[in-house]
Structure 1
Amino acid sequence: MSTFLSAFAGLVERLADLLQPLFHASSAAAAIVLFTALVRLLVHPLSRAAARGQQARAQLQPKIAELRKKYGKNPEKLNKAVLELHAEERVSPLSGCLPSLLQMPAFFLLYHLFSSTTIGGESNGLLAHTLLAAPLGGRWADALGDGGPFGAAGLVYLGLFALVVAVATFTYRRTKRMSAANPVPAGDGTQVPGLGAVAKVMPFFSYFTLVTVAVVPLAAALYVVTSATWSAVERAVLYR
């Protein structure tokens, strides 16, 4: 793990060196944003496949309605029949989860990289980098203790929080519009256990990003905010 972390640190440093003429002291922060964009580009084909999968699932609704009429009094048979229908049509009920799952390793790499004071037995020089006045290895609690919410570092976090709220509100309104236009019939939660409950709270998921940004190192928070913004724009295009 230490060797892998060292290689990743080298990648971030090289990206920061390339961006230094443009972003100066915030070049490492810009490198993280660029790294996030590269990760999302790699995952984009899966996001497109997930969009196609959602369209395919929507087309299956009439057949699912027929199965519900046939097996409505037998939830076990209904669940089995719906899963078999998805298998026959080669549509995965969980395909939309893959893009998010495949991004997790990149997030955890950044989290560990900017939470470690040493890498490979040497001092972690990346911790000296900042986004304006906020250290990339610091957290919101550190900013509150060093100048308060309106201090130099605190203002950086307030800017990130404002961006998260704006993106989350955009996503919330769009999800509500989509849900109203394509309501999930009662009983569809039998396709996957808990799916119905997840659908009810889905519009609020984007706001949970605020908690993540507040508790992780600023470098990891940058990854989360950049990825969330990318997701909002990407989904607006793919699911229009």
Structure 2
Amino acid sequence: MDIFAIPPLTLLLDAAYSALLALSTLLEPVAGSAAAALAVVLVTLVVRGLLIPVGVSQAKAEQLRARLAPRLRTLQQRHGNDRERLQRETMALYRDEQASPLAGCLPLAVQAAVVGILYTLFLRTEIAGHPNALLTHDLFGAPLGESLFAAAGAGLDAPTALVWAAVLAVIVVVADITRRVFRPQVPADGPLATPAMLGVVNGLHYLTAAFAVFVPLAAALYLVVTVTWTLVQRWALRRRYPLPAA
């Protein structure tokens, strides 16, 4: 089912297309053929800037979860065999602290929506019945509407290979720094302390790079900017809201 065939979403997609195309046209005197790529970067920065207050709330929630972790483990040990009781006691604990266990989910939801729209904008040959002019744009010779997976299937040329190598390198480097700097606080006797589970947790940091291979280059650029922004913002907020000692 094509969700963008639903009239309100069709209008949303057409509005996003018109806005991005207008911004690209505005940037052409400065960026030339890379105007659409620069427009994607600027849109990403605007989205991330608007989410700064939510990022602050997310950092506060992370600090709270770390502080409540010993009490949550006590509840799990006490009511581990009674899931309903455990859920009630957990929710009561968060309620007493005037917090929510779902705090911090909004940035993920917003980013998923933006990636979905960019993916669609640079995938369709037509938007709301008219030709998609965004597909004529590229970044240093690499088409913005083509994924690495599709490009590899058709035969990679040198410019496309270099651009994608740079994109993936940035995502992987940022993921590795994030993994090293923000190691999760795992109880030594907990189920996540096993080497296998720690390997899984560490591997999750690199999922963005795997996902980027299958999306158009424009969406991959969004991922590059957003993971870099997230790392810097998280580092700054961690200094402002440090976690309690393990």
Equivalence for 1:169: 176
Counterpart among 158, 174, 186 of residue 151 in structure 1: 158
TM-score, scaled to structure 1: 0.84
1:187–1:20 CA distance, 2 compared to 1 (3 A) = same
1:30–1:138 CA distance, 2 compared to 1 (3 A) = same
1:63–1:209 CA distance, 2 compared to 1 (3 A) = closer
Question: C-alpha separation between the residues in 1 aligned to 2:79 and 2:57?
Answer: 31
Question: C-alpha separation between the residues in 1 aligned to 2:182 and 2:223?
Answer: 20
1:129–1:95 CA distance, 2 compared to 1 (3 A) = same
Question: C-alpha separation between the residues in 1 aligned to 2:203 and 2:233?
Answer: 18
Q: What count of residue pairs does the alignment treat as equivalent?
A: 227
Equivalence for 1:2: 10
Equivalence for 2:46: 38
Question: C-alpha separation between the residues in 1 aligned to 2:198 and 2:79?
Answer: 21
Question: C-alpha separation between the residues in 2 aligned to 1:230 and 1:139?
Answer: 23
Question: C-alpha separation between the residues in 2 aligned to 1:215 and 1:89?
Answer: 42
Matching of residue 233 in structure 1 with residue 232 in structure 2: yes
Equivalence for 1:22: 30
**Partner secondary structure for residue 100 of structure 2:** coil
Residue 179 of structure 2 aligns to which amino acid in structure 1? Y
Equivalence for 1:183: 186
Question: C-alpha separation between the residues in 1 aligned to 2:73 and 2:136?
Answer: 59
**Does the 8 Å contact 1:57/1:91 carry over to 2?**
no
Q: 4-13 or 95-104, which moves further after superposition?
A: 95-104
Q: 49-58 or 76-85, which moves further after superposition?
A: 76-85
1:141–1:184 CA distance, 2 compared to 1 (3 A) = same
Question: C-alpha separation between the residues in 2 aligned to 1:28 and 1:142?
Answer: 20
Question: C-alpha separation between the residues in 2 aligned to 1:170 and 1:233?
Answer: 11
5+ residue gaps, structure 2:
1-8, 240-246
C-alpha displacement of 1:113: 0.8
Q: How does 1:1-150 map to 2 (within 5 A)?
A: 1-64=9-72, 67=75, 71=78, 74-76=81-83, 77-145=85-153, 148=156
1:75–1:175 CA distance, 2 compared to 1 (3 A) = farther
Question: C-alpha separation between the residues in 2 aligned to 1:158 and 1:75?
Answer: 50
TM-score, scaled to structure 2: 0.82
**Does the 8 Å contact 1:147/1:154 carry over to 2?**
no
Question: C-alpha separation between the residues in 1 aligned to 2:35 and 2:59?
Answer: 34
Question: C-alpha separation between the residues in 1 aligned to 2:79 and 2:29?
Answer: 65
Question: C-alpha separation between the residues in 2 aligned to 1:73 and 1:117?
Answer: 53
5+ residue gaps, structure 1:
190-196
- Tell me the C-alpha RMSD between the 2 structures: 2.5
Residue 98 of structure 2 aligns to which amino acid in structure 1? R
Equivalence for 2:5: none
